[in-house]
Amino acid sequence: MTVPPRTPAERPAVILLHGAVLNGRMWDPIVSRITPTHRVFTPDLPGHGSRRNEPYTVASAAADVQELVGSLAPSQVVLVGDSLGSYTAMAAAPALGDRLAGAVLAGATANFRGLTAIAMGLRSALFRIFPKDRLQRILESRVAREFEAGPAMVEDGLRPDAFGEAVASLRGIDFRPLLAGIAAPVLLVNGTRDRLARRDEASFLAAARRGSLELFPGVGHGVSIIKPAEYARLIAEFLNSLN
């Protein structure tokens, strides 16, 4: 007997978690490629987009993701992130148990400790050098010009101050035990030129119980907005592997 394919409502829901400074609209080019087969959610994290009047903390962001997952019960979910979104996903994962069907985590295989913490602290300081209005204009111009989802992200609001809040909140946390607590499959993703995010790549991969690694040759940080079509295909392949 032929088993009919599962409908989107029967498959795991997909929650896409954006990077620092940006907002949920960064996923627009990817959402259109996933929605035919899965329900997709692109929440703004605290301190970003529609929630830019709130500060970002790992704890508040993780709690929000857990609340969203709870609202989707009894469906399982797949968490997909890039950079800050991936760290948020790892922080949220321990409370999800078997509701988590899997995770695709890009640009987040380094703890904010030692040299990494120093480097990220310096980047955060650079954000404070420029007058806020000038930094806002520079950021909006670059994002709108360089990325497929750029105009949509600018429309929903970029927030440079969120970068410093994210760095401060991530500093000192060892995400590897959180990763080790995920029983579901985990796909770690990096650009080969993303040297800072890859500093602890080997130990993050070793920590993941059912982990695998995918590299984007010649790409730096932010593979999901630099190569959205390719990242969407990777997500689709991961979702198909869960069937």
- Domain harbouring 161, CATH code: 3.40.50.1820
Is there a domain that residue 104 lies in? yes
- 131: domain range? 13-241
Is there a domain that residue 2 lies in? no
75 DSSP 8-state letter = S
Is there a domain that residue 103 lies in? yes
Is there a domain that residue 133 lies in? yes
Is there a domain that residue 21 lies in? yes
Is there a domain that residue 6 lies in? no
Q: How far apart are CA 45 and CA 50, in angstroms?
A: 9
Residues in a beta bridge with 17: 81
The answer to whether 149 and 160 have CB atoms below 8 angstroms apart is no
Q: How many domains does the chain have?
A: 1
Q: How far apart are CA 188 and CA 197, in angstroms?
A: 11
Is there a domain that residue 5 lies in? no
Q: Identify which of 19, 26, 197 has the alpha carbon closest to the alpha carbon of residue 107.
A: 197
Q: Identify which of 94, 96, 90, 84 has the alpha carbon closest to the alpha carbon of residue 47.
A: 84
The answer to whether 223 and 190 have CB atoms below 8 angstroms apart is yes
Task: Show pLDDT as tens, one digit a residue, over the chain (243 residues).
Answer: 454 466 777 789 999 999 999 999 999 999 988 888 899 999 999 999 999 999 999 999 999 999 999 999 999 999 999 999 999 999 999 999 999 999 999 999 999 888 787 777 777 776 777 778 888 999 999 999 999 999 999 999 999 999 999 999 999 999 999 999 999 999 999 999 999 999 999 999 999 999 999 999 999 999 999 999 999 999 999 999 997
Is there a domain that residue 68 lies in? yes
